[in-house]
Amino acid sequence: MSSLLVDNIGELVTNTPGAGGGGPLGLRRHVALLVEDGLVAWIGPTRDAPAADRRIDAGGAAVLPGFVDSHAHLVFAGDRAVEFAARMAGEPYTGGGIRTTVGATRAASDDELRATVRRLRGEAMRQGTTTVEIKSGYGLTVADEARSLRIAAEFTEDTTFLGAHVVPAEYADRPDDYVGMVCGPMLAAAAPYARWIDVFCERGAFDVDHARAILACGQAVGLGVRLHANQLGPGPGVQLGVELGAASVDHCTHLTDADVDALASTAAEDGGTTTVATLLPGAEFSTRSPYPDARRLLDAGVTVALATDCNPGSSYTSSMPFCIALAVREMRMTPAEAVWAATAGGAAALRRADVGRLARGARADLMILDAPSHLHLAYRPGVPLIRQVLRNGVPQCRP
């Protein structure tokens, strides 16, 4: 059994209420954390720290659980920098650019796609992300969706089949046929590599009847449900997610009071049936759109997560610290709420109890900041504050 002691922690975010006070973050001060075989084995005062094979001196800095980025589209080829520039010059975002990426992705080799996922996952890791969900959705053929998920599964346990991202051009005038294909041969080819199924339920993508049919097919073969909904305008997606027991409904930018109430009604004590509202402020930033009203959701008791939505069109950032800064500055979340949403909230959105918190038995996925407090993540936007990242207790390489 190998052991590692992270010693001299000035502020530890445990996300374990009752662990020592400090609100939902369960802050503890002047502690050490022992890792054994990749798991947290002990947390206690520095002076009581047990001996270990190796030691990392945190130097009085803050230590947090690794970020859980529960929404990312990393399997793609090409970029859309020109489209971004046009948008910044005044063109509206419609989601139509997804088809540009579909063409480039279909033309790419497996190794090209794999290299992009590896690069982005490394980039995210250096910014503190230790768990990332990865979606398909730029293949949109049976073979291309299956290979996207096969490649995604090389990098994460949380793979999501998003064959219903948009209707591809070759099916533009017969969307019913495309939905039939998604539910039939595409799902059959994708399911062995997927934990989740997702649909982009939005005007211009999939309507609520198509979304319900596709998600039900996924559930029938054992996939968990998540949903892109209410991003570009109001719609029935959030209610559909709650109806189907989705782990998360993502975007949630345009909500009615009934949508908020429906989400709040799922916030159970044990979290096992909660539908999380995952907010993706990188998308609003990159499309120059109004941000979701996080304050309204939080005040209603909804469980909120933050994620990057990393994708080449509407949010090409892998940075959870950037999303935290946006959430605090633009969405009126407190720094503590934003940090919780980026760690424990993401874990809830993936229905995982082993990550997003630091307590005995949890995975030793954590980051040491170059700062004395979690507050600095929002207080010092754009600054590389992540000094070191451990995943399963193993220090990750710096570039």
**Tokens representing residue 369 in the block:** 């900041």
Q: Which is nearer to Zn ion, 309 or 337 (CB)?
A: 309
Least gap, CB of 10 to Zn ion (angstroms):
36
Q: Taking CB positions, which residue lies at the least distance from Zn ion?
A: 309
Judged by CB under 5 A, the stretch of 167-175, 241-249, 304-312, 325-333 that binds Zn ion is 304-312
Q: Which residues, other chains included, contact 263 with Cβ-Cβ below 8 Å and sequence gap of 6+? A: 238, 242, 249, 252, 275, 277, 297, 300, 302, 303
> Taking Cα atoms as reference points, which of 184, 166, 187 lies closest to residue 175?
166
Q: Which is nearer to Zn ion, 83 or 309 (CB)?
A: 309
Q: Which is nearer to Zn ion, 69 or 309 (CB)?
A: 309
Judged by CB under 5 A, the stretch of 93-101, 104-112, 258-266, 303-311 that binds Zn ion is 303-311
Least gap, CB of 196 to Zn ion (angstroms):
12
Tell me the residue length of the chain.
Answer: 399
Q: Produce one character per residue of 28-45: b if its CB has 16 or more CB atoms within 10 Å, e if not.
A: beebbbbbbebbbbbbee
69 binds Zn ion (CB under 5 A): no
198 binds Zn ion (CB under 5 A): no
Q: Which is nearer to Zn ion, 7 or 207 (CB)?
A: 207
Query: How many residues sit close enough to Zn ion to count as binding (CB under 5 A)?
Result: 1
Q: Which is nearer to Zn ion, 158 or 309 (CB)?
A: 309
Least gap, CB of 120 to Zn ion (angstroms):
14
309 binds Zn ion (CB under 5 A): yes
Q: Which is nearer to Zn ion, 26 or 97 (CB)?
A: 97
Judged by CB under 5 A, the stretch of 263-271, 284-292, 301-309, 373-381 that binds Zn ion is 301-309
Least gap, CB of 314 to Zn ion (angstroms):
8
Least gap, CB of 41 to Zn ion (angstroms):
36
Least gap, CB of 71 to Zn ion (angstroms):
6
Q: Which is nearer to Zn ion, 62 or 124 (CB)?
A: 124
**Tokens representing residue 27 in the block:** 């802050």
Q: Which residues bind Zn ion (CB under 5 A)?
A: 309
